[in-house]
Structure 1
Amino acid sequence: MAGGKGNVRKVSGKSKSKVISRSARAGLQLPVGRIHRLLKQRTTSTGRVGATAAVYSAAILEYLTAELLELAGNASKDLKATNAGEGVIPHIHRYLMEKKGQPQPGQMVAPPP
């Protein structure tokens, strides 16, 4: 680890380059490195998994997740029209609707002269 330098790597004393994750290289949102690690844990005693296997697995999982979310969104849109009592019914209290010239409850009214 390059203590405290973040995602910057020094290349033989020349300019510094940013570290690009395998997820970013593949254009995926799911973590390819984590999936690769988990695949290695699940295999036999040798634990050998190809580098592209993790990328392919991450792409499949991301595609299936996107499809599932799209179907769930469409279903929720379709069910939205069947909610009978949704929304807020407007209600203004009578106390707030009184005229400006009329006395409000609890106020002292001056007797007529």
Structure 2
Amino acid sequence: RRKIPTVRSAPRDKRDLQHLSFTLSINTTFPLIALTAHNSKFKEKEFTTKPVGFSHSLQRNRFTSFSDHVTMEAPKGAGGRRGERKKAISKSIKAGLQFPVGRVARYLKKGRYSRRLGTGAPIYLAAVLEYLAAEVLELAGNAARDNKKNRINPRHVLLAVRNDDELGKLLQGVTIASGGVLPNINPVLLPKKTTSASTERSSSPKSPNK
């Protein structure tokens, strides 16, 4: 004789709904169906055989009614008086920068450069890095435009850095890969100007034709 499955009644106290686990135990021939309070949607499993004295319609009605109680929204903190959550504003937007201030702050803390770190240090460093990047990109873009190119390559970056006094001094010991060198020819190797010889030849009379 098969056993009729029993359903435990759900507690009516609202505080018990937080840690509620509603389990329907059936005979070993049927699978175990569990409904937890953490799942918002319940997928009903089909039985292999229909149990005696327990209809599918009754089972479906019980689960839907219980899921309505489980998915009930819990009251918000402070008696539900908390308003809507404000939209998060990043530190970069507050400082008016494009470089990530939060990431710079994380790297400064992770690097252990000092025991203490001020709140303005990552903002200052991000602003300096943004200024240097903008300066190099502007000069490299001018070099690319002079060479009639639409894309900046390492050659344009090197020309921009080496032709600028301050950036050249800052990046004096830096090697830019695939950048090449500045075009430079030693004046000694240039051909000498023969202005005096040319004037003498022009002033001398031409020999008569034979």
Give the unaligned 5+ runs of structure 1: 1-9, 82-113
**Identical amino acids, percent of aligned pairs:** 53
Is the partner of 1:16 in helix, strand or coil?
Answer: coil
* Alignment-mate amino acid for residue 27 of structure 1: G
Query: Does residue 1:57 correspond to 2:129, yes or no?
Result: no
Kindly state the Cα deviation for residue 37 of structure 1 after the two structures are TM-superposed: 0.8
Structure 1 residue runs of 4 or more that deviate by more than 6 Å after TM superposition: none
Number of positions where the alignment pairs a residue of Structure 1 with one of Structure 2: 70
The structure having more radius of gyration, on CA atoms, is 2
Shift of 1:39: 1.0
CA apart distance, 1:15: 3.4
User: Counterpart of 1:80 in 2: which secondary structure?
Assistant: coil
1:41-69 deviation digits (Å, cap 9, x = unpaired): 223473x2111100000001001101110
Distance in 2 (CA, whole Å) between partners of 1:20 and 1:76 is: 37
Answer 1 or 2: higher relative contact order, Cα 8 Å, separation at least 6: 1
TM-score scaled by structure 1?
0.55
SS at structure 1 position matched to 2:120: helix
Match of 2:86 in 1: 17
Assess, with a 3 A threshold, how the Cα gap between structure 1 residues 52 and 41 changes in structure 2: closer, same or farther: same
Q: Secondary structure in 2 aligned to 1:50? A: coil
Find the counterpart in structure 2 of residue 88 from structure 1: none
Q: 1:27 to 1:44 in 2, by over 3 A?
A: closer
- Do structure 1's residue 80 and structure 2's residue 140 form an aligned pair? no
RMSD between aligned alpha carbons? 2.2
Q: Give the Cα–Cα distance (whole angstroms) in 2 for the partners of residues 14 and 43 of structure 1.
A: 39
1:68 and 1:44 mapped to 2: Cα distance? 27
**Runs (5+) with no aligned partner, structure 2:** 1-76, 150-210
User: Residue type of the partner of 1:25?
Assistant: K
Q: Normalised by the size of structure 2, how large is the TM-score? A: 0.31
Q: Which of these residues, 105, 109, 112, is aligned with residue 43 of structure 1?
A: 112
Give the aligned residue type for 2:111. R
Q: C-alpha separation between the residues in 2 aligned to 1:43 and 1:50?
A: 13
Q: SS where residue 86 of structure 2 aligns?
A: strand
CA distance in structure 2 between the aligned counterparts of 1:60 and 1:50, rounded to whole angstroms = 16
